[in-house]
Structure 1
């Protein structure tokens, strides 16, 4: 049966499109470097690159060695010899350019190593004051710093050498940018291990319970799987790479593909339950749902494309992949799925049983005024909560406490010179060497930095700059570039939140403006500072994209319905869940982070779908039925699909709660909360508002 002219050509075109996009999967690349999260045109990224080009282009891996019982490492039998052997083994690794640490800083002499005065002079850089913790720093040059395989292999080698070097009383932890990359890779591997099987199990179980036929879940999940493959093939053709945060994208696409098809499938089952033939049921469901299906997919795709406002490329890739996947899902729904429904059409009694199981009319309630009044009070509470909301984040908290990287960060904060930091490039200008007057200004700058409460250490310190061979040693330590005469000041501090890190850097820039001199002090650069700015700017961008998408979708719907009243209705019912969800976050004292901000950019496209189906079909019913009859039909014919599609999406997103990566966990949690509130709004608030005279005037 052909539902419309040219359907067979659409089926053929879909086959060729899938072949073309899925073929792109062979070119799909991954990027395990934390630098993938930043736009290369960002000024902060440019400053970070300046540091890399002028001082070192190598990655850094820190090895934290700590005695488990808290005692002194120096009292451990053979520790000095074991450490010396470990240094030699690490230097022998082909990827290692240089090894520094507590031994090299103390000139590898046992008498100096045991000197308390020497350890005090190190000021916590490589060994703690109580000698319970020591640090080894590796400068690493991988052939491909983006390769997850190379990162894991090298970090695994270092871990094995450290474990073999020391007794069971001493623990070794990895930290630094190389360990951060390793942590990202570990989270992706953990998530993929659980996401796909748990997702497929949950969805198959729910769909089988709903339809009691294996063919329907297999068809719907097949549409989702093909849409996901096509989406990742498309982003591969576009030249984008996949990062840790993109591991959650398949769940979004598969969940949305089910939501896209659910209204069509349930309309088909409703028609079969009424005794219509399979051919007529497919035709009726197609005609009934084509317009709202098309508009809902369009608005959802627009909502996800709003993620292009994000300053982070991986977030943009999520938006592109979701929009492409949803578009492919839409085309599969109006082509192959129709043929599948006709091929596996259920008997009328089976369809009737399905509709009876999904009958949610028993959940309906009267009391229009009470529902609207309660919604107004909740929105006022949510609005007040928004005034308490702040934007903040901490990249170190993205990983669980038991991760080696997270443990190393806490140890460095507690025992050494701090895990966070910002590097400032200082020059005398015009490529000239530092003069005595320049050093005096530099001394004032470092003196002011030491007075700041966050600062634990500055490298190099004033004492190091005044020694006869200081510039030669600083050049060896990659802190001074003799060609450009640029000096790198590393400011070390405990891990800071995004707002605290930016506030500190702002104070530094203000000091530079207030104290002009012969020195050029450039903008601070570090991974910590880049992540801080990324979190703040991403939240602002996502808020802007949310408002743009919401207003654009509302205006578009108003144009389609030829009425500003329904435009207002859509705006209220889709903005209310966001106000309440983020208001509750503000009331609880939480802050908007990278994960919760991404939800702002993508969620409007998800929750607007069901509102569109309700309004389109309510308008159709009102052409021939009374207000009461039309609302009753909403509960029997439309809201079951709203309920099961929202429930499916919520259950799909619960898979993300298993993630070890905090942004994915937050994306899942906030999406679940917002979709649940949106479901309540569609089931109760929207019908309640439709009863109001103000909105009924549109239908008269």
Structure 2
């Protein structure tokens, strides 16, 4: 029996109806899981629960009060903060922030607990308690005292006195994290808008961990509600322009929507939550599925234009395209499943959701799509795109005539470009996770020029015994360590209880500056610190820096904006210093959100590249099995792997950094671009099997297949360029680099691949799965 006609069961057999019902039932059952899916709003979603770095951060949060915060920088228009208007603004905004949801502490210039000596007593009072206190004399006192406060300068007051900040500490209950984060960010945004209206001569910038969580959610939400409608519009317009059939576009849309609902719903059943990286999954699915469907539809339209009936055109399209489409779906699934090597859950989720979508696409393309195509009307008129594709014969003749110069020119050029790919630096930058249009990034970069925003490292120093932090040896090492940190070029400032302990000793000795040093014994230090704690106003405890039993202290190094490479280099330099100077009795560990993101960024890049390497191997073996020819399988890797490697080489020239989002492009891209290579090789080998010369087989391939390859590739490029408009910078870069890889792959398929097969594969393999016949033979066999 003709192997080409075995595909007729998809359309004509009774089993096809049962399979159609089964696939629809599976899709709808999976889609029910959409009720379980939501958008994640916590930076912790980037880490596994058992991630060692995350566990260390949780340990830090358990020992000291939470470091989740909102940081607001205030910039007066005249560059002076010591005036009644600006100090009044700070005072009012400080009080307003206390009323915001989940705020446990607010620190600012106006409510700073200023300590002074009065004989044997210590007086602690806020700089501004009521607005009517802001006399010129009081303002002068605040300016003089604040400029000498180590706990203020660099933390809430810029060294030049032109900028001040308010830091609100947030303690989220953790019951509904997304709702809690949005409640905080919504309240803060409302306050900022209100104060901007009342103080138009002041500029407000906002950053902090809670704001970063909100920015992750907003970026994901923005992509979801803007890019998906754009993609739907893109599908309908492209179908109208290329196929001149809105009904054909509707058929594609049905498959796309069902695949989208099925994959997202099944992901919901599996407990997967969408996040900023994985929210791009629907856009990628749209692009891949549409590009695959175009191969079927463009062949049908070409047959109808030649006078074949609609039913016969659908039959012939499936006879010719079934195996290539099945193979391309499988290789795409392999590429995206390789993202499971990622150390970061959202990137694994992205790969799994898209893989599920492509699997649903394959099932729907074999059941739902053919039944829809049998019921819609195709135009027999040629569109502008059709006329362009009909003129591809001259290109095939040009490639045939110049195949050797093409090989001698393109292969060395491509290899030279690919050789640059290892020069890319594996690096990441937490702030640059967001597009420049995102307010969070703009504010964070502005704040970083005057303060340290979210780039900090917390060091916990501890001893086993209770009240051990007051031991002279412990405090002396803390003083030595902090002094060394402040000398490092990456450090903006430091924060610890050390300054307060030394200042208390000064105050207890009549305010004499000569006594600004560590107390001579642990008892004195403990008593002075206890007196200070008891004198603090409500909400101003020291648990953010000192453990409850006084056995450990937190020293915070506030850093300038660093990439992951720079932060890890600083971290390692500190570790080297500690190995040389740390007393054995003192235990030290460190963590912060910036630290754990730097680690996951580096490890995720390596793990994704390892997954891509495995994907290359598995896809190569798949192609060898499909063609039953190791030679064809290996030859096909050149137009598949080389464009991706060349794209990374080109990326080195334009950017030079591979972030954790871009590391997954290699596996994704090869899984996608194999589609066109498989279609070309299937048609070419089929021509050889039917006795055509290599040149005639190339001409026939250009006439029958290259049109679909060109259209599908262009649709993929446009789809990924849409992704490059994402508010999440990692998704945008992923879209740009994948689109670049597909463009290079298209050039290879149009020019280099024909030259390769004409030079190195002039005979059909001895054994092949391909037994296709030309259209006339198929009609006769029917």
The answer for the alignment partner of 1:526 in structure 2 is: 592
Match of 2:719 among 647, 652, 657: 652
Q: Is the 8 A contact 2:72 2:204 kept in 1?
A: yes
Match of 1:136 among 166, 171, 174: 166
Match of 1:410 among 426, 438, 445: 445
Segment of structure 1 superposing worse, 319-328 or 100-109: 100-109
With normalisation by structure 1, the TM-score equals 0.94
Distance 1:516 1:83 in 2: 41
Segment of structure 1 superposing worse, 295-304 or 59-68: 59-68
Unaligned stretches of 5+ in structure 1?
A: none
Distance 2:255 2:281 in 1: 15
Q: Is the 8 A contact 2:688 2:763 kept in 1?
A: no
Match of 1:154 among 184, 193, 206: 184
Distance 1:296 1:410 in 2: 43
Structure 1's 452 and 470: CA in aligned 2 closer, same or farther, altered over 3 A?
farther
Distance 1:363 1:430 in 2: 82
CA deviations on 1:156-212 (whole Å, 9 max, x unpaired) are 322333444452111222210111122223323433343123222222222111111
Match of 1:455 among 491, 515, 522: 491
CA deviations on 1:30-87 (whole Å, 9 max, x unpaired) are 2111221122222111111111111124631112221134x11212x43333433332
Q: Is 2:481 the partner of 1:445? A: yes
- Aligned residue for 1:524, secondary structure, equals strand
Q: Is 2:650 the partner of 1:584? A: yes
What root-mean-square deviation, in Å, do the aligned CA atoms of Structure 1 and Structure 2 show?
A: 2.5
Q: Is the 8 A contact 2:457 2:556 kept in 1?
A: yes
Alignment of 1:61-100 (within 5 A): 61-69=70-78, 71-75=79-83, 77-100=84-107
Structure 1's 265 and 152: CA in aligned 2 closer, same or farther, altered over 3 A?
same
Q: Is the 8 A contact 1:21 1:231 kept in 2?
A: yes
The answer for the alignment partner of 2:419 in structure 1 is: 384
**CA positional deviation for 1:422:** 0.7
The answer for the alignment partner of 1:209 in structure 2 is: 241
Q: Is the 8 A contact 2:243 2:383 kept in 1?
A: no
Distance 2:322 2:559 in 1: 58
The answer for the alignment partner of 2:408 in structure 1 is: 373
Distance 1:48 1:602 in 2: 32
Report the structure number with the largest CA radius of gyration. 2
**CA positional deviation for 1:695:** 6.3
Distance 2:452 2:529 in 1: 21
- Aligned residue for 1:132, secondary structure, equals coil
Q: Is the 8 A contact 1:269 1:352 kept in 2?
A: no
**CA positional deviation for 1:244:** 1.6
- Aligned residue for 1:343, secondary structure, equals coil
Match of 1:661 among 718, 724, 728: 728
Segment of structure 1 superposing worse, 16-25 or 379-388: 379-388
Q: Is the 8 A contact 1:393 1:497 kept in 2?
A: yes
Q: Is the 8 A contact 2:421 2:649 kept in 1?
A: yes
Q: Is the 8 A contact 2:601 2:659 kept in 1?
A: yes
Match of 1:424 among 459, 472, 476: 459
Q: Is 2:698 the partner of 1:631? A: yes
Segment of structure 1 superposing worse, 133-142 or 394-403: 394-403
Distance 2:465 2:738 in 1: 53
The answer for the alignment partner of 1:397 in structure 2 is: 432
Structure 1's 530 and 606: CA in aligned 2 closer, same or farther, altered over 3 A?
same
Q: Is the 8 A contact 1:62 1:137 kept in 2?
A: yes
- Aligned residue for 2:544, secondary structure, equals coil
Aligned residues: 697
Structure 1's 127 and 695: CA in aligned 2 closer, same or farther, altered over 3 A?
farther
CA deviations on 1:356-406 (whole Å, 9 max, x unpaired) are 453333443321112212222222321331242211121112334454423
Alignment of 1:244-259 (within 5 A): 244-259=276-291
- Aligned residue for 1:120, secondary structure, equals coil
Distance 1:484 1:39 in 2: 32
Distance 2:550 2:635 in 1: 63
Distance 1:82 1:464 in 2: 27
- Aligned residue for 2:558, secondary structure, equals strand
Q: Is the 8 A contact 2:669 2:738 kept in 1?
A: yes
The answer for the alignment partner of 2:127 in structure 1 is: 109
Structure 1's 531 and 68: CA in aligned 2 closer, same or farther, altered over 3 A?
farther
Structure 1's 178 and 423: CA in aligned 2 closer, same or farther, altered over 3 A?
same
Match of 1:120 among 148, 151, 171: 148
Structure 1's 266 and 572: CA in aligned 2 closer, same or farther, altered over 3 A?
same
Structure 1's 560 and 96: CA in aligned 2 closer, same or farther, altered over 3 A?
same
Distance 2:585 2:571 in 1: 18
Q: Is the 8 A contact 2:23 2:363 kept in 1?
A: yes
**CA positional deviation for 1:500:** 0.1
Match of 2:41 among 2, 8, 32: 32
Q: Is the 8 A contact 2:452 2:561 kept in 1?
A: no
Distance 1:670 1:448 in 2: 42
Q: Is 2:341 the partner of 1:275? A: no
Distance 2:660 2:498 in 1: 38
The answer for the alignment partner of 2:24 in structure 1 is: 15
- Aligned residue for 2:199, secondary structure, equals coil
Structure 1's 369 and 470: CA in aligned 2 closer, same or farther, altered over 3 A?
farther
**CA positional deviation for 1:419:** 4.5
Q: Is 2:200 the partner of 1:168? A: yes
- Aligned residue for 1:30, secondary structure, equals coil
Structure 1's 146 and 507: CA in aligned 2 closer, same or farther, altered over 3 A?
farther
Q: Is the 8 A contact 2:47 2:54 kept in 1?
A: yes
Structure 1's 516 and 128: CA in aligned 2 closer, same or farther, altered over 3 A?
closer
Distance 1:68 1:14 in 2: 64
Structure 1's 214 and 518: CA in aligned 2 closer, same or farther, altered over 3 A?
same
Distance 1:124 1:456 in 2: 7
Q: Is the 8 A contact 1:273 1:352 kept in 2?
A: no
- Aligned residue for 2:148, secondary structure, equals helix
**CA positional deviation for 1:266:** 2.4
The answer for the alignment partner of 1:358 in structure 2 is: 389
The answer for the alignment partner of 1:481 in structure 2 is: 547
Segment of structure 1 superposing worse, 637-646 or 394-403: 394-403
CA deviations on 1:399-425 (whole Å, 9 max, x unpaired) are 344544234323332223455111112
Distance 2:359 2:674 in 1: 16
